[in-house]
Chain A
């Protein structure tokens, strides 16, 4: 990766000042008129959110049978969506924590909305395991709480680990994000032009005055939390992987799964960050602080992840072949010659082939190209999630129970609705909170001035 501590080149506009940087971010929030584009986008995503709510109501009314799941393929879209969303939720905290610790200067302009993306994605991801329950009204039985039945969750189940992993990751991400938000809240409080804004941002700023002691404490706690965040970034997806690998099914029962899922999560997470970065840059007019260099760096990460994915796939194939167990071989065989083969080939193309474009420097610096690759790889990652479920459950140990999954219309509507819900929440965020960490930009500027 280019640049160490001093590589602020191409990240900030020349000759800018602290005030100009803050104004660039904060003014957008203080402006009353956001334009029809925002309202149009909000209207569309609100409609999709309402559709999602309608689907959920119908689901509770009619039962899980409205989805395409069958006796053999008992898991389907909801679990694939869950894994996909939680994978997306992986990148935000990674960018905030790992890049902070490794002192990557380019994280400053993107970490805030990446964290928000994480929180929204993990929240949505957390919905799916509940929605896919036969009796979602009892989802709280997964939590260890004292009850008259005298029953605790069954600790050997990966689903209990998963429940704990999601909840702790979500709580931690919220805390981490909010901690980073406090100085910016104070900035907004000071710049707010309405009484409502002053009070609201003032309450959220929790009395931040920007004293040296404040900054010193904030920095220490923030870095400490970042250190704690890293294991969580890894664990949440490792545990999601164990939902599969702690089983007895061909194609699932593999030790490669946890690292493979973490790489995949990073891959799809960065993919989504790239897409959002482009949208935020365009929507909020932040071309000055979100630059092609950001895209170039993230393009490189995507490329590295893609290679990691390739390695994982190859490992999976190799072990299935070398262990030679019948069920594993059948699973492998069905990947390349089965009902889902077109999807599998499409997935390989999306995840392995297309990201190779990022070897070319010109493509990395072309924002459209990077965004294109990111969209494609997110489609590929979703295909990967669904195929992990479909191919294994469709071709289990006993051929008599082989069956193909046909998604129902509700499967698609819920997936689309979750995207709409995500987009709607993100639109609200862009309207109400600073999309870029202003104080981090300030630190970057200070660093540049110190260096020059």
Chain B
């Protein structure tokens, strides 16, 4: 044994050495971090106090302005931007839920090559030589595929790209496209004009299978216009506009219509032809059967009587000839319609790209945020083409979806809330989108990729957007304009100028649809074309009318289902065009006979942990020649059942129950006021509460205006940290929404009139939940709020048992507290929480608070400034989201407040007012404006 070479360490030295090495070992796993307070506080930033920034979000390519609330650089809530014409201060479900998609754990975080993690440098090294080689033939083999593009910057970059690759070809694929509308405008006017109906200037509207109030880029604008022409008020001298709907399916527009006729596509065509003929078109008018003829008479009379303010609408799914016919009718009626110039370039479609992929004409394909492998028509088999091609395929998008998985390279892209961009609204208004958070992952923007294609290695989206606008604004005023545009969220005077109304050509005969069963394909009200499928807020958001969640279903009239021996939940095989699709059946009263309706966007395979394998993939029956109506449909029972999850089954109101959601005709709503909310409290043994606060909060909801869009539901979820429970818990009847839109059906089963009733907490003055709580967790505050003290609650649930409105929600599991659904427990998900609202633990009851955190913020501000809280200063999340302004909130003590005035309207009533609960949330009954000539005999 050899002696040790160096000097022996003393015991103390050895111990110190060990300690030191232990310290090094433990610390080497963590990068060195410094946590320092700000030395210089960023201007305007107070930790804990939110800041709001204007930006824009795309909806199918069109921009909608939003104001984002951020806490220390973390966006938590989106609201509408009042200055933006496509938002007008309101939102829809997609805008509200966008905040969650930012923090979606399934977002793509890394570059992938053939499915394996790779680097950005690796991608550049692979792409650049190909581009250099492609320059030789002008980029003839280079293809670009995008969704609908309105961004001036991206359009400019694509145009610039043509400078390097003149032979490059650009394709656009948008599953909910407007090809038919453009083609219809082309037929009618000779150019593919953009036609914008102006509902706010209409007095009589006929929706021919159109759904202006339904989901889409224009829902908010139309919702606001609808509210403007349908407000039944004591002092409304102009009266109510009248809305007719003729449709094969059932849309929210149909639900809000004064008169609705359910017609299969063939009947719809006959109706439109007859209408055109009555207005003087040189078309063969079919003779209409019994229910249609008087309906047409009434419609024609009304439309002609309102010349200049009469409007006929066709949906984007109507065939071009039908669109042209409607343009001609509107022309005859001098309808309130704006005609905007068409987009400068019509890119090629997806079919051409598919053919080129198969033909081998594609060398390099770059797909920017599109998902054709999932949402292309089935007869294209785009996924097959993508799989079989030898081309260099690149997919860039925030999610590695079906297309990303099939492309050779996948590039993670910024979320719109992390990126600089610019967007145009449907009316052409431009807005600049600014990032609200530093990118969460190593993602890059679409502008960078287009720059790379052009040969610029490090183009930032910021620079690209500034360059675009620098070209349009004078250099000396650029900075001022830029700041103004960022601050306001809109570029001033950027809206397209309407053209002088062009004369519509005489219409041609629309093709006759096939008789027999037809499948209608429609965008989904919560997941749209499938791109939002991985958003749990949207999956758990009940669809209007059916209130279905976590899936889609084949909707058909109850009689139709019975004829095929199908009941709710039976799986039916839909055969069409040689393809078969299995979908669960959900009977929906009011659908036309011989029609089955299925929404797009379900059955995804690579959406993520939330959206995979839900519902039926309607794209599998979609064909290029049958994008929206698949005829010659055959139905056969599949012999198995699937659960159709609904938060509420369709409920027909009969007898006394009608007073839950009363209906009144406009003609006599003034003469017969509903029972006013009792002014004098009913006798009680208890001394009535004498609140001493100067404020008494209250809410009035106008069910006439509610279009059932659910924006309020998702807004409430976002604002109040309402957890998602997942389909399993929904099946057990345990959804957590603080606000729900009850849907009741009036009228007969053949002619149903559904009505929407948003139900938040009523904040009863004599709240039944309060006396039954043994631990005083449910208490009243001085301003009249019925508040729930979470950390006092022990979960007896007596409050909910005794609540006549059943608005309380119980945490049966730790939905936000350790027992989250699917991937909802991932750390990143917690980033979406509003820090002003408690995240509730398991075993406690929760409910609507009237957004007490907003009240509190306003009160603090007012106290600082030594003034009372002003009218309109507190806006609840639901109120601020509502496109139709159906929800008003304010101080009942102020006679001038909107809520106080609404409480004096003749159709004002308290839901279940006879129970003596004296709710602070009250309602305005549904006022309809039926045509006396079409009055149905009511039992």
Contacts and interface: CB of A to CB of B under 8 A. Distances in A.
Interface string B784-809: 00000000111111101110111001
Given A132-B797, A156-B771, A157-B773, 15 more contacts: A62-B813, A74-B800, A134-B797, A134-B812, A134-B842, A157-B771, A157-B774, A247-B772, A247-B801, A248-B915, A396-B804, A398-B660, A400-B651, A400-B744, A402-B651
Interface stretch (A137-145, A172-180, A374-382, A426-434): A137-145
A403 interface: yes
A400 B775 CA distance: 29
B842 A63 contact: yes
Contacts of B800: 71, 74
A62 B842 CA distance: 9
B801 A249 contact: yes
A229 to B, nearest CB: 26
Given A74-B800, A134-B797, A65 B771 contact: no
B604 to A, nearest CB: 28
Contact of A157 (B648, B732, B772): B772
Contact of B844 (A70, A134, A141, A403): A134
The 7 closest A-B pairs by CB, nearest first: A134-B795, A134-B843, A70-B733, A65-B812, A400-B742, A74-B797, A159-B774
A153 B794 CA distance: 12
B806 A158 contact: no
Nearest to A74: B797
Nearest to B725: A65
B51 to A, nearest CB: 36
Interface string A153-168: 1101111100100000
Interface centre among A68, A398, A399, by most chain B C-beta atoms within 10 angstroms, is A398
Contacts of A365: none
B733 A71 contact: yes
Interface residues of A, number: 47
Interface in B770-786: 771-776
Interface of A: 62-65, 68-75, 129, 132-136, 138-139, 141-142, 151, 153-154, 156-160, 163, 243, 246-249, 326, 393, 396-403, 406
A64 B734 CA distance: 12
Given A398-B742, A398-B805, A135 B793 contact: yes
B250 interface: no
Contacts of A74: 797, 800-801, 810
B771 A70 contact: no
A72 B805 CA distance: 10
A64 B792 CA distance: 18
A153 B797 contact: no
A186 B801 CA distance: 51
Interface residues of B, number: 54
B810 A135 contact: no
Contacts of B792: 141, 151
B759 interface: yes
Which DSSP category, helix, strand, loop or mixed, fits chain A's interface?
Answer: loop
Interface string B447-477: 0000000000000000000000000000000
B804 A163 contact: no
B735 A159 contact: no
B848 to A, nearest CB: 14
B768 interface: yes
Interface string B406-448: 0000000000000000000000000000000000000000000
B795 A135 contact: yes
Nearest to B804: A397
Nearest to B799: A74
B733 A72 contact: yes
26 contacts: A63-B811, A63-B813, A63-B814, A64-B795, A64-B812, A69-B812, A71-B800, A74-B797, A74-B801, A75-B801, A132-B796, A133-B795, A134-B795, A134-B796, A134-B797, A134-B842, A135-B795, A142-B774, A154-B775, A154-B776, A163-B774, A249-B804, A399-B651, A400-B757, A401-B648, A403-B733
Contacts of A247: 768, 772, 798, 801-802
Given A134-B845, A398-B912, A65 B729 contact: yes
Nearest to A130: B794
Given A139-B794, A141-B794, A64 B774 contact: no
Nearest to B912: A397
Which DSSP category, helix, strand, loop or mixed, fits chain B's interface?
Answer: loop
A71 B735 contact: yes
Contacts of B812: 63-65, 69, 134
B743 interface: yes
A400 B739 CA distance: 13
B657 interface: yes
Contact of B819 (A62, A72, A153, A402): A62
A398 B806 contact: yes
Contacts of B802: 247-249
Interface centre among B768, B792, B798, by most chain A C-beta atoms within 10 angstroms, is B798
B656 interface: yes
B740 interface: yes
A156 B799 CA distance: 13
Interface centre among B648, B772, B792, B842, by most chain A C-beta atoms within 10 angstroms, is B772
A60 to B, nearest CB: 10
A71 B915 contact: no
Contacts of A64: 795, 810, 812-813, 843
A71 B806 contact: yes
Contacts of A142: 774-775, 794
A137 B776 CA distance: 17
Interface in B250-289: none
A133 B796 CA distance: 5
Nearest to B806: A401
A247 B814 CA distance: 28
B724 to A, nearest CB: 14
Nearest to A324: B656
A65 B773 contact: no
Contacts of A156: 771-772
Contacts of A75: 797, 801
A411 to B, nearest CB: 12
Interface centre among B775, B793, B801, by most chain A C-beta atoms within 10 angstroms, is B801
A134 to B, nearest CB: 2
A398 B740 CA distance: 12
A20 B743 CA distance: 76
A393 B801 contact: yes
Nearest to A129: B796
Nearest to A401: B806
Interface centre among A70, A72, A134, by most chain B C-beta atoms within 10 angstroms, is A134
B660 A135 contact: no
Contacts of B811: 63, 134
Contacts of A154: 771, 773-776
Contacts of A138: 775, 794
B795 A157 contact: no
Nearest to B813: A65
Interface centre among B660, B768, B795, by most chain A C-beta atoms within 10 angstroms, is B795
B756 to A, nearest CB: 11
Nearest to B915: A248
Interface in B697-751: 729, 732-735, 740, 742-744
B546 to A, nearest CB: 13
A158 B773 CA distance: 8
A377 B644 CA distance: 38
B371 to A, nearest CB: 35
Contacts of A401: 648, 806
Contact of B744 (A71, A151, A397, A399): A399
A142 B733 CA distance: 29
B648 A141 contact: no
Contacts of B801: 74-75, 247, 249, 393
Contacts of A157: 771-774, 798
A73 B793 CA distance: 19
Contact of A71 (B653, B742, B809, B813): B809
Contact of A159 (B648, B772, B842): B772
A355 to B, nearest CB: 31
